[in-house]
Amino acid sequence: MSPIRQVAILGAGYVGTAVARTLSSHGTAVWAVRRRPSPPAHGITWLAGDLATGEVAGLPTQLDAVILSVAPSSGADSYEDTYPPAARTALAIAAASGAKAVVYTSSTGVYGEHDGGWVEEATPRRGAGPGNQALIEAEDTLLQSERGGVTVLRVAGIYGPGRDPRSRYAHPAMLPSRGQYWTNLAHQTDIVGAILHTLSHEGAPRALNVSDGNPALAADVARWCAAERGQDPATLVFDNDAPLSRSNQRVSNAALRATGWEPQFPSFREGFTHGV
List, in order, residues 6 or more apart from 42 with CB less than 8 Å away: 24
Domain 6-163+185-213+248-264 has CATH 3.40.50.720: yes
| Prediction pTM value | 0.95
In contact, 150 and 102? CB cutoff 8 Å: yes
Contact between 18 and 32 (Cβ < 8 Å) = no
For 179, other C-beta atoms within 10 Å of its C-beta total: 22
What's the confidence (pLDDT) of residue 74? Answer: 55
What residues does each domain of the chain span? 6-163+185-213+248-264
Closest by Cα among 241, 250, 213 to 116: 250
**Confidence at residue 2, expressed as pLDDT on a 0 to 100 scale:** 60
| Closest to 236 (Cα-Cα) out of 182, 176, 183, 170 | 170
Cα–Cα distance, 112 to 246 (Å, whole number): 8
Average pLDDT, consecutive stretches of 10 residues, N- to C-terminus, the chain (276 residues) = 86 94 95 84 90 93 96 70 95 97 96 92 90 95 93 97 95 95 97 95 87 98 98 97 91 97 98 96
Q: State residue 62's pLDDT score.
A: 97
